[in-house]
Amino acid sequence: MAASIDSRELRERIIAGGEFALVDVRESGPFSRGHVLTACNLPLSRLELGVTPLLPRKATSIALTDGGDGLAQRAAGVLQTMGYGDIAVHEGGIEAWRAAGGEVFEGTNVPSKAFGECVESACATPALNAAEVHRRIAAGDDIIVLDGRPFSEYGDFAIPGALSCSNSELVRHIADLAPSPSTTVVVNCAGRTRSIIGAQTLRNTGLANPVHALENGTIGWEWAGHSLEYGANRRPGGVSESSRAWGIEACRSMASATGLGEIDDATLDDWLKDDSRTLYRFDVRSPEEHARDVLAGMTAIEGTQLVQETDSWIAVRDARIVLGDDCGTRSRFAGHWLKQMGFRDVHVLDTDHVLPVQATPPDAPMVLPGEAAAGGWTILDLSSSLQYMSCHPAGAFWALRSRLAGCAPAADRGLAVLDDEGGHLAALAVMDLAGLGIEACVMEGGLQAWIAAGLPVASGHERALCAMDDQGAAPFEIHDDPDGAKRRYIAWEKGLPAQIERDGLLSFRPVTVTTLEGGH
Q: How does 252-289 read in b/e, with b if 16+ C-beta sit within 10 Å? A: bbbbebbebbbbeeeebeeeeeeeeebbbbbbbbbeeb
How far is residue 174's CA from residue 185's CA, in Å, rounded to a whole number?
9
Same domain membership, residue 23 and residue 101: yes
Q: Which of 327-336, 382-391, 455-464, 503-512 has the lowest mean pLDDT?
A: 503-512
How far is residue 256's CA from residue 260's CA, in Å, rounded to a whole number?
6
Q: What does 302-343 look like in DSSP terms, one character per residue?
A: -HHHHHHTHHHH-S-TTSEEEEEESSSHHHHHHHHHHHHTT-
Same domain membership, residue 426 and residue 349: no
176 CB burial (10 A radius; 0-12, 13-18, 19+): middle
Choice between 50 and 293, residue whose per-residue pLDDT is larger: 50
- Considering the entire predicted model, what is its pTM? 0.91
Neighbouring C-alpha atoms within 13 Å toward the C-beta of 265: 6
Same domain membership, residue 188 and residue 101: no
Domain annotation covers residue 266 = yes
Beta strands in 378-449 (DSSP E): 378-381, 392-393, 397-398, 415-418, 441-443
Q: Where are the alpha helices (DSSP H) in 130-169?
A: 130-138, 151-156
pLDDT of residue 117: 97
Question: Considering Cα of 182, then 187, then 188, then 193, what sign does the dihedral take?
Answer: negative
| Cβ 442 vs Cβ 426: under 8 Å | yes
What does residue 367 show for φ and ψ, rounded to 5 degrees? -135, 140
pLDDT of residue 475: 64
Q: What residue numbers bound the domain in which 404 lies?
A: 366-458
Choice between 117 and 293, residue whose per-residue pLDDT is larger: 117
CATH number for 314: 3.40.250.10
Q: Which of 36-50, 311-325, 334-348, 468-482 has the lowest mean pLDDT?
A: 468-482
How far is residue 169's CA from residue 198's CA, in Å, rounded to a whole number?
10
Domain annotation covers residue 123 = yes
Report percent pLDDT > 70 for the chain.
94
Q: What does 271-299 look like in DSSP terms, one character per residue?
A: HHT-TTS-EEEEE-S-HHHHHHEEETTPE
Nearest to 132 by CA among 193, 60, 213: 213
pLDDT of residue 361: 60
Note the Cα 83 to chain centre separation in Å: 26
How far is residue 484's CA from residue 489's CA, in Å, rounded to a whole number?
9
Choice between 161 and 476, residue whose per-residue pLDDT is larger: 161
Q: Is the pLDDT of residue 393 over 60?
A: yes
| SS3 state of residue 82 | coil
Same domain membership, residue 333 and residue 398: no
How far is residue 207's CA from residue 205's CA, in Å, rounded to a whole number?
5
How far is residue 57's CA from residue 63's CA, in Å, rounded to a whole number?
14
Q: Which of 196-205, 250-259, 464-473 has the lowest mean pLDDT?
A: 464-473
Q: Is the pLDDT of residue 268 over 80?
A: yes
Same domain membership, residue 121 and residue 101: no
Q: Is the pLDDT of residue 183 over 80?
A: yes
Question: Considering Cα of 197, then 201, then 202, then 207, what sign does the dihedral take?
Answer: positive
Query: How many other C-beta atoms lie within 10 A of the C-beta of residue 241?
Result: 7
What does residue 186 show for φ and ψ, rounded to 5 degrees? -120, 130
Domain annotation covers residue 222 = yes
Number of H helices, E strands in the chain: 23, 24
Same domain membership, residue 118 and residue 97: no
If one counts the domains in the chain, the total is: 4
109 CB burial (10 A radius; 0-12, 13-18, 19+): buried
Same domain membership, residue 229 and residue 268: no
Confidence of residue 367 (pLDDT cuts 50, 70, 90): very high
Confidence of residue 250 (pLDDT cuts 50, 70, 90): very high
Choice between 451 and 482, residue whose per-residue pLDDT is larger: 451
Nearest to 203 by CA among 253, 274, 164, 159: 253
Domain annotation covers residue 495 = no
Confidence of residue 352 (pLDDT cuts 50, 70, 90): low
| 139 Cβ contact list (under 8 Å, min separation 6) | none
Q: Is the pLDDT of residue 514 over 60?
A: no
Same domain membership, residue 393 and residue 333: no
| Cβ 66 vs Cβ 24: under 8 Å | yes
Confidence of residue 482 (pLDDT cuts 50, 70, 90): confident
The chain-wide mean pLDDT, for the chain, equals 93
Identify the domain boundary among 79, 106, 133.
Answer: 106
Nearest to 306 by CA among 291, 327, 287, 328: 287
How far is residue 408's CA from residue 397's CA, in Å, rounded to a whole number?
9
Domain annotation covers residue 510 = no
Same domain membership, residue 181 and residue 101: no
Q: Is the pLDDT of residue 517 over 50?
A: no
Identify the domain boundary among 180, 206, 237.
Answer: 237
pLDDT of residue 42: 98
Query: What pLDDT digit, counting tens, does each position of 47-91 carry?
Result: 999 999 999 999 999 999 999 999 999 999 999 999 999 999 999
| 263 Cβ contact list (under 8 Å, min separation 6) | 271, 322, 347, 348, 349
Domain annotation covers residue 46 = yes
Taking the CA atoms of residue 361, residue 370, residue 380 and residue 48 in that order, the dihedral angle to the nearest 10 degrees is 0
pLDDT of residue 518: 43
Same domain membership, residue 93 and residue 13: yes
Domain annotation covers residue 483 = no
Q: Is the pLDDT of residue 330 over 60?
A: yes
Domain annotation covers residue 474 = no
Identify the domain boundary among 67, 89, 106.
Answer: 106
Same domain membership, residue 128 and residue 99: no
Q: Is the pLDDT of residue 337 over 70?
A: yes
Same domain membership, residue 121 and residue 84: no
